[in-house]
Chains A and B, each alone.
Chain A
Amino acid sequence: MTVRRVALNTAAGLGLLYILTPLIFVTWLAFFRQEIPSFPPEGYSLHWFAAILDQPKFVDGFSLSFQVGVLATAIGLALGVPAALCVTRYQFRMRTPLASLLLLPLIVPGVVLGTSMYVFHVNLENTLDVDVLGTFYALVAGHVVIVMPWVVRLVTASLAGVDRATEEAAQNLGANAWVTFWRITLPAIRPGIVAGALFGFVTSFGNLELSLFLVAPGRTTLPIVILQYLEWKIDPTIAAVSVVQILLIAIAMLITDRYVKLARVV
């Protein structure tokens, strides 16, 4: 039995190692002293992290990704939380199809979403005679589409665990619908909202396929800057950029994990 256990754990460990291998190596490269990614490294250095700041495209890309992510998440919450409340708290005929519609963007391929939104923006631009394609707000609108499903999914999951009796008790004691929501429901689903916001933000921040079609030349998001850089070369600078991104996302995940059990929501 123990041999079996060891074999099973080894197989599982190898699977996890496989998943983490690319992250391990990109992190390793970020600390190389020499610029060429050759093994064994000639020594170790931290100066590539400082070199990130010398390249404005990384800083600009980070800044754009961050702004788009924050705004798309805020709009995603404003649209998604009420929708999640509705699909869990009300019974109506179109409930199931509408609930699936809200999650649909998660399964439409990124490239197809990107191409179709691109032609949509071109069409809007021609019809309305205003700049749409490549503008900041068009990019944000695109990202809301991929952020909102996460909000709906996580807030719905957390609403399912809230006992309706507490809300009814509040209303019996004279609280109106708004007070009940603000004082009872909202605190109870806060973990779901936090998780939805973080997952949505991280999805937006890391998105490549959609952004590729929606950004204007010269003003691109961080994942696109990374992709274009890698197409040209791989060096410790880009590895250092990656490490910064990995750290940020790891921190976001650890914060999320404090509020909700990750295993339940992904």
Chain B
Amino acid sequence: MSLVVDKPRGQGWTASALLAPATIFIAISLFAPLGILFRYSLNEFVPSTKTMVEALTVANYVKFFTDPYYTAALATTIKVSLLVTVVCLIVGFPLAYVMARTQSRFKHLLIIATVLPLFVGNSVRAAGWMVVFGNKGFVNASLMGLGVISKPLEIMFTENAVIIGIIAVNLPFMVLSLQSVIEGIDRAVEEAAFSLGAPPATMFRRVLWPLALPGILAGTILTFILAMNAYATPFLLGGPTFKMMAPVIYNEFTQKTNWPFGGAIAFILMSVTLGLTLIANLLIQRRSAR
């Protein structure tokens, strides 16, 4: 690694000594594992003995795209992720705007309230939704108590439960991405639009939205990636028959011990996520360039 420093000689050594341990550590613990996993994904798997046989084949990738069980899991994952991303943007924008513009001295508490759930862990948040959604849970008990329904609604272990759960998981990421960008937009440009007679909707469309676009882009991409990779929420709220990609990978890997196929699915998930993100990025940038 060449660290060419445009400062006096000797500082190059200092810089290398400071940076090298961290860089080498990350490079080894990130790229070596990914490399091995990719190599494994080209191997063969013998189901009868549950062993991996050295090979150089794309059969695992072909198997994924030809088996409806797996393509359905991919389709569900993409559908859920797109829906989650759109809802997060709509629900998150007002909160991000108020958080960015508030003069309140409780602003830091607002931010803590948004950040705290992020670190509490997805299982705990799934537990909260189980209390809400269960047959005797809050929603069903309230609706039945009010006489709206006579028998409990099936909410747990449905796609809707998973979608509601993932939105709550991802919303803080969207809000924080939007909030940081909106904070950087000068209040005066909004006032200027208003004083020139723009109604709020026009001001939003012509001023706020274009200026906030970097944050919107960052937030939607982050939300989408996180939704594509969601594990705990679909696992706990979706039940055994609901299939999203991350739980499928885990299952192939640990339950079926099919490392080649599990590895292939992991790389398919990463590529699809990255591909869709890039396409969205290009589309949005082209539209905003007009």
Enumerate chain A interface residues (CB-CB to B < 8 A).
Answer: 4, 8-9, 11-12, 14-16, 18-26, 28-29, 36-40, 79-80, 82-83, 85-87, 90-94, 98, 101-102, 104-105, 107-120, 123, 141-142, 144-145, 148, 152, 177, 202-203, 206, 208-209, 212-213, 223, 226-227, 230-231, 234, 238-239, 242, 245-246, 249-250, 252-254, 257, 261-263, 266
Contacts and interface: CB of A to CB of B under 8 A. Distances in A.
Contacts of B34: 108, 112, 116
Interface of B: 1-7, 11-12, 14-15, 17-19, 21-23, 25-27, 29-30, 32-34, 36-37, 40, 91-92, 94-95, 97-99, 107-108, 110-117, 119-132, 134, 136-138, 141-142, 145, 165, 167-168, 171-172, 175-176, 179-180, 183, 200, 225, 228-229, 231-232, 235-236, 246, 249-250, 253-254, 259, 262-263, 266-267, 269-270, 273
Given A37-B130, A116-B266, A109 B229 contact: yes
Nearest to A199: B119
Main secondary structure of the interface of B (DSSP, over half): helix
A111 B246 contact: yes
Contacts of A112: 34, 37, 229, 249, 266-267, 269-270
Given A85-B18, A86-B18, A148-B22, A18 B236 contact: no
Given A119-B37, A206-B121, A226-B127, A141 B94 contact: no
A261 B120 CA distance: 20
A117 B165 CA distance: 28
A253 B26 contact: no
Contact of A79 (B1, B25, B112): B25
A213 B253 contact: yes
A105 B26 contact: yes
5 contacts: A38-B136, A90-B15, A111-B269, A212-B250, A253-B116
Given A101-B27, A206-B119, A20 B91 contact: no
A169 B5 CA distance: 22
* Most chain A CB within a 10 A radius of its CB, from B18, B114, B131, B250: B131
Given A16-B114, A263-B180, A8 B94 contact: yes
B56 to A, nearest CB: 17
Q: Which secondary structure dominates where chain A touches chain B? A: helix
A212 B263 CA distance: 16
B108 A83 contact: no
A127 B23 CA distance: 23
Contact of A249 (B27, B120, B200, B253): B120
Contact of A92 (B15, B179, B229): B15
A152 B23 CA distance: 11
B120 A238 contact: no
Contact of B2 (A8, A37, A94, A142): A94
Given A19-B168, A36-B136, A245-B120, A239 B40 contact: no
A177 B126 CA distance: 50
B171 A87 contact: no
A111 B7 contact: no
A38 B137 CA distance: 5
A21 B168 contact: yes
A231 to B, nearest CB: 7
Contact of A111 (B29, B141, B142, B249): B249
Contacts of A123: 36
Contacts of B246: 109-111, 209
A230 B229 contact: no
Given A22-B127, A79-B22, A85-B18, 8 more contacts: A16-B114, A18-B168, A19-B171, A22-B117, A91-B6, A109-B270, A110-B229, A116-B34
Contacts of B23: 83, 98, 101-102
Given A22-B126, A249-B120, A11 B172 contact: no
Contacts of B33: 113, 116-117, 119-120
A261 B110 CA distance: 12
Given A109-B229, A246-B116, A16 B134 contact: no
A94 B1 contact: yes
B185 to A, nearest CB: 15
